[in-house]
């Protein structure tokens, strides 16, 4: 079965940028660089079979609820979108996630661009804060979650020029 990360990796290769570290023990998928349009209806329909493969029919309603909640909070300003950042459990705590963030954020700073991400893991908030992201939205998906679903943190990193970053580092 295709994992959600594998699906996101395909999206990153087709519509964004993918970084890896630690002999493929960590990966980051950045989507929608500034100036690139968000997927339209036809593109979303074309992705539907793959999405169903990932979530299964039973998980479609829950996945759509999360997706709808995220879409309501998604920034309209141009930005890079960190769709996935994952580190293999045995490689966690070695700095690979920070390495991947620093690498791509240097590119983002060189472009004087902003960045956005969502995380449902409270422990990840501190990691992203160390790299300049701040929580600007906290939300939950719509039903069908009986328990209200996971709390999701929307995090924004404003544009900053590479020269201002290096002078403050």
Instruction: For residue 52, count other CB atoms closer than 10 A to its CB.
Output: 13
Q: State the pLDDT at residue 140.
A: 82
Q: Compute the distance between CA of residue 32 and CA of residue 35 in angstroms, rounded to an integer.
A: 8
Q: 44 pLDDT band (50/70/90 cuts)?
A: low
Nearest Cα residue to 127 out of 104, 145, 100, 152: 100
Are the CB atoms for 16 and 66 separated by under 8 Å? no
Residue 168: pLDDT over 50: no
Enumerate the domain spans of the chain.
4-168
Q: Which of 77-91, 93-107, 137-151 has the highest mean pLDDT?
A: 93-107
- CATH superfamily membership of 4-168: Gcn5-related N-acetyltransferase (GNAT) (3.40.630.30)
Q: State the pLDDT at residue 122.
A: 92
Residue 157: pLDDT over 60: yes
Helix axes 4-15, 41-73, angle to 10 degrees: 110
Q: Compute the distance between CA of residue 59 and CA of residue 61 in angstroms, rounded to an integer.
A: 6
Q: State the pLDDT at residue 94.
A: 92
Give the mean pLDDT of 31-44.
68
Q: State the pLDDT at residue 142.
A: 72
Are the CB atoms for 82 and 28 separated by under 8 Å? yes
């Amino acid at each position: 079965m295709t994992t959600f990360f594998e699906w996101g990796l395909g999206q990153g290769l087709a519509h964004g940028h993918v970084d890896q570290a630690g002999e493929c023990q960590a990966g980051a998928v950045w989507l929608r660089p500034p100036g690139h349009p968000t997927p339209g209806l036809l593109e979303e329909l074309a992705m539907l079979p793959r999405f169903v493969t990932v979530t299964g029919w039973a998980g479609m309603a829950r996945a759509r609820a999360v997706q709808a909640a995220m879409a309501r909070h998604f920034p309209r300003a141009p930005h890079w979108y960190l769709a996935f950042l994952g580190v293999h459990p045995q490689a966690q705590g070695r700095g690979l996630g920070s390495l991947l963030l620093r690498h791509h954020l240097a590119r983002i700073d060189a472009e004087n661009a902003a960045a956005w991400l969502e995380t449902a893991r409270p422990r990840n908030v501190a990691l992203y804060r160390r790299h300049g992201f701040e929580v600007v939205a906290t939300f939950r998906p719509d039903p069908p979650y009986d328990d209200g679903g996971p709390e999701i943190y929307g995090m924004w990193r404003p544009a900053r020029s590479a020269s201002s970053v290096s002078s403050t580092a």
